[in-house]
Structure 1
């Protein structure tokens, strides 16, 4: 079975990383939610992708310069559509309280590659633990040092390094991080690379897959999960109600033969 994770919620249909987007993803039968977490000035984990609020709200400035209360004065919906005017930036705790009423899985991406957010790992981990959701949460980040901090706190925590480049034998790197999960960009998944992950029993959850033909191919490859902006389309492809011919992702590597490197 391949799980369908809604990327920042059902972000094609509602403003990303908002409660409307998360609720829409649940309606569309997503198995899980992928969301981004940053810290406010007063160390409250909030759900927003960019380090600044400019793109997805009517405000300006870095997330880290606002208190949580100040962030609640910003509108995070009307940039997407007038229909969502009044939407607010949710706190991670607000989301977790809602999530507990569902069967959703959760992928928390720690957005601490540009802003270091010292102590973020423990703050987020403790909040998840407080709500007794530890077994339904996966932590990912492009900051792999941060993922190792989580492993130090809890050797059983599920971590997944994010990457988007053509890593050499990436399964060996993933194993070096003491995990069996990885979240690569779909463009990196040449068939031989996927075989390497399979041979090492590494679970692949790939982002951000919105093309039905690429979805079909990845479902056929039995990857662990797809992360997508359009969970409804992914569900239709998976259950066969939307019939498409698969498109081999490896074709984007037409000048690259990974077999020569194995």
Structure 2
């Protein structure tokens, strides 16, 4: 079965990367959520997509220049006229532990533009503290970071994000020790999914919001996909299974 991941939660209908958004995605029936992690000035993993807080919050400046206690006081629900703080990763993991429904969390390390020292070790330590290793996927556009993650924890699942076509990306992923590729949807073909499956590499395209593209991925048997509209994706999956 093709799994559905809520991209930044249910980012199409609620404030992205907030607890409101994550809870909405799981309530809609998503199999997992995707979130983005940066490090604060005091080296604490915080959940936000951009390198700065400018777009999604009522604050300004780089995430890395703010203390965690300053970041969680900002309103990340501004674009939806809601009140929603920036979550700390540890709070999302705590919620996942307490949830009645087990689900997968894809943690994207946002270290492709800013090099966060030891972000892999810091995040993996938090995951282990919450005993969630088997429900976590680490991903990044920084493929060297994913190799480093596996050096820290050879068991944790890693996935390589990419936006441009890669020749035999399943071979490339296996050389990097990754169990999955997360390609931009426009680079995905049925042949790629079949070849990756033959090489035991999962294919999870992003960000799939078009209904026809969703139907196509269900038909092709993609491992999963990321969408801003998990409720819509769940409805379509239920209609064809």
- 1:133 CA displacement: 0.4
Deviations, residues 112-141 of structure 1 (Å, cap 9, x unaligned): 011100010000000000000010000000
1:93 and 2:90 correspond: yes
1:12 and 2:12 correspond: yes
SS across alignment from 2:107: strand
SS across alignment from 1:240: helix
- 1:87 CA displacement: 1.2
Aligned 1:145-164 pairs, distance under 5 A: 145-164=144-163
- 1:180 CA displacement: 2.5
Which residue of structure 1 lines up, in the alignment, with residue 183 of structure 2? 184
Aligned 1:91-170 pairs, distance under 5 A: 91-102=88-99, 103-170=102-169
Which residue of structure 2 lines up, in the alignment, with residue 58 of structure 1? 58
SS across alignment from 2:212: helix
Q: Hey, what's the Cα distance between the residues in 1 that align with 2:32 and 2:185? A: 18
Alignment TM-score, normalising by the size of structure 2: 0.96
Gaps of 5+ in 1: 244-262
Deviations, residues 17-69 of structure 1 (Å, cap 9, x unaligned): 00100111111111100000000000110000000000000111000000011
SS across alignment from 1:194: helix
Q: Hey, what's the Cα distance between the residues in 2 that align with 1:154 and 1:65? A: 28
Q: Hey, what's the Cα distance between the residues in 2 that align with 1:198 and 1:123? A: 32
1:27 and 2:27 correspond: yes
Which residue of structure 2 lines up, in the alignment, with residue 174 of structure 1? 173
Which residue of structure 1 lines up, in the alignment, with residue 43 of structure 2? 43
1:206 and 2:205 correspond: yes
Q: Hey, what's the Cα distance between the residues in 2 that align with 1:11 and 1:157? A: 26
Asked if 1 retains the 8 angstrom alpha-carbon contact of 2:109 and 2:138, the reply is: yes
Deviations, residues 61-81 of structure 1 (Å, cap 9, x unaligned): 000000011112211112x22
SS across alignment from 1:237: helix
Deviations, residues 88-118 of structure 1 (Å, cap 9, x unaligned): 1000001111111221110000000111000
Which residue of structure 2 lines up, in the alignment, with residue 218 of structure 1? 217
Alignment TM-score, normalising by the size of structure 1: 0.89
| Larger Rg over CA atoms | 1
Which residue of structure 2 lines up, in the alignment, with residue 73 of structure 1? 73
Q: Hey, what's the Cα distance between the residues in 2 that align with 1:222 and 1:114? A: 33
SS across alignment from 1:139: strand
The ranges of structure 1 where at least 4 consecutive aligned residues each deviate by more than 6 angstroms after the TM superposition are: none
